[in-house]
């Protein structure tokens, strides 16, 4: 389905009963809504599951002139999510974000906390990029502009999956998604990621129930980052560690991920 919101023709998948409790799934970079397929299948009997393709990703396109690096921000992407919720007449939702989706979840909490019923923070971090990480993003942006989106797959794939999952179907699926993403969109999002704010100070302000979950072998946002998030959110449980999974824990070990999700949602 598509919604015209915030200057976008935004694709989103919606499944489950219209009167079910809404859960919004926010994918990581540079993926699309389909990375949540196993979670949606597990929850759609009961929950109203909404999984958009975020700005610059998947089937979502901008309605105005093409955007330039520096014009897209994580805050901007959070406003897109709010515009979609408004369009769907959803006042409050559980927000489940992975990695970049987690950065967007923090941005939602920063400016639209009453819209957030509870938070599921998967394979993400609260802190900003180090200067080295920023420079790596700018170098990757140059490489993607020169060589195309396959440069992003070559650079990213080995760190996205646990070594044992690198030749899995999930890894092939992610490779195909990244390679379909236009280079200019990858570059715009790399700048948005590099320029995102530090959300560490926001953590003690989080008062809604929060699940923090991470792949055992996550090399991008390792379990130590999940620990740091939990330590700063009053009353948060320890992070759930998903075994046999890297950065894409919902895809790499959906059984364990979905169990944690179900346990959290049924509390
Ligand atoms: C993601 O999965 O969204 C990215 O790894 C986020 C990042 O590079 O910081």
Task: State pLDDT tens for residues 107-120.
Answer: 999 999 999 999 99
Hey, CA dihedral for 112, 113, 118, 124, is it positive or negative?
A: positive
| pLDDT of residue 64 exceeding 90 | no
Ligand 1 within 6 A of CB of 29: yes
> To test ligand 1's pocket by mutation, which of 99, 136, 246 has the most ligand atoms within 8 angstroms of CB?
99
Closest to 189 (Cα-Cα) out of 80, 49, 38 = 80
Encoding tokens for residue 131?
């200067």
Tell whether ligand 1 has an atom less than 6 A from the beta carbon of residue 31: no
Please list, in sequence order, all residues whose beta carbon lies within 8 angstroms of the beta carbon of residue 262, skipping any fewer than 6 positions away.
Answer: 42
159 CB-contact burial (10 Å; exposed 0-12 / middle 13-18 / buried 19+): exposed
Q: Which of 181, 193, 225 to mutate to test the pocket of ligand 1 (most atoms within 8 A of CB)?
A: 193
Give yes or no for residue 100 CB within 6 A of ligand 1.
yes
Cα end-to-end distance, the chain, whole Å: 31
Question: Does 220 sit in the ligand 1 pocket, CB within 6 Å?
Answer: yes
Q: Looking at the predicted structure, is the pLDDT value of residue 68 above 90?
A: no
- pLDDT of 93 above 90: yes
Helices (H) and strands (E) in the chain, counts: 10, 9
> How far does residue 252's CA lie from ligand 1's centre (Å)?
16
Ligand 1 nearest-atom number relative to CA 193: 9
| pLDDT surpasses 90 at 198 | yes
- For ligand 1, say whether the CB of 28 is within 6 Å of any of its atoms: yes
Note the pLDDT of residue 185: 96
Phi, psi of 234 (to 5 degrees): -60, 130
Task: Report the relative pairing of strands 22-26 and 48-52 from DSSP bridges.
Answer: parallel
Helical residues (DSSP H) of the chain, grouped into ranges:
37-43, 74-87, 100-112, 131-147, 150-160, 169-180, 183-194, 223-232, 249-252, 254-265
The token duo for 215 is: 């792949």
Domain coordinates of the chain in residue numbers?
2-128+198-265
What is the model's pLDDT at position 181? 97
For residues 146-163, give the mean pLDDT.
96
User: What would the CATH number be for the domain defined by 2-128+198-265?
Assistant: 3.40.50.1820
| CA 100 to centroid of ligand 1, rounded, Å | 5
**Alpha carbon distance 207, 211 (integer Å):** 12
Q: Is the pLDDT of residue 124 over 90?
A: yes
What's the pLDDT at 235? 81
Query: Mean pLDDT over residues 131-144, rounded?
Result: 97
CA distances from 132 to 18, 55, 137, 220 (A): 45, 26, 9, 14
Instruction: Write the pLDDT tens digit of every residue in 227-262.
Output: 999 999 998 899 999 999 999 999 999 999 999 999
Q: Atom of ligand 1 at shortest distance to CA of 28?
A: 3
**pLDDT, tens only, 71-87:** 899 999 999 999 999 99
Per-residue pLDDT, 208: 97
Query: What angle in degrees, to the nearest 10, is found between the helix axes of 131-147 and 150-160?
Result: 140
87 DSSP assignment: H
Whether 157 is in the pocket of ligand 1, judged by its Cβ within 6 Å, is no
Q: Indicate if the pLDDT at residue 65 is higher than 90.
A: no
Average of per-residue pLDDT values in the chain: 97
pLDDT confidence of residue 236: 86
* Nearest alpha carbon, ligand 1 atom 4: 29
pLDDT of res. 150? 96
């Amino acid at each position: 389905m598509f919604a015209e919101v915030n200057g976008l023709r935004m694709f989103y998948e919606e499944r489950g009963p219209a009167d079910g409790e809404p859960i919004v799934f926010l994918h990581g970079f540079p993926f699309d809504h389909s990375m949540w397929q196993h979670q949606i299948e597990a929850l759609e009997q009961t929950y109203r599951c909404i999984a958009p393709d975020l700005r610059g990703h998947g089937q979502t396109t901008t309605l105005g002139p093409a955007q330039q690096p520096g014009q897209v921000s994580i805050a901007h992407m959070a406003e897109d999510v709010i515009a979609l919720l408004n369009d769907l007449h959803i006042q409050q939702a559980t927000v489940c974000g992975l990695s970049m989706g987690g950065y967007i979840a923090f941005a939602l909490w920063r400016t639209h906390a009453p819209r957030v019923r509870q938070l599921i923070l998967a394979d993400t971090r609260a802190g900003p990029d180090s200067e080295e990480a920023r420079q790596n993003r700018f170098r990757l942006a140059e490489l993607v502009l020169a060589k195309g989106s396959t440069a992003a797959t070559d650079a990213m794939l080995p760190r996205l999956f646990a070594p044992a999952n690198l030749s899995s179907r999930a890894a092939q699926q992610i490779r195909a998604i990244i390679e379909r993403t236009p280079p200019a969109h990858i570059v715009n999002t790399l700048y948005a990621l590099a320029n995102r704010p530090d959300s560490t100070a926001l953590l003690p302000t989080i008062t809604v129930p929060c699940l923090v979950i991470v792949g055992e072998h996550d090399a991008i946002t390792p379990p130590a980052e999940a620990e740091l998030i939990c330590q700063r959110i009053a009353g948060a449980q320890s992070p759930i560690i998903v075994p046999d999974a890297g950065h894409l824990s919902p895809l790499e070990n959906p059984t364990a991920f979905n169990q944690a999700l179900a346990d959290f949602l049924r509390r």
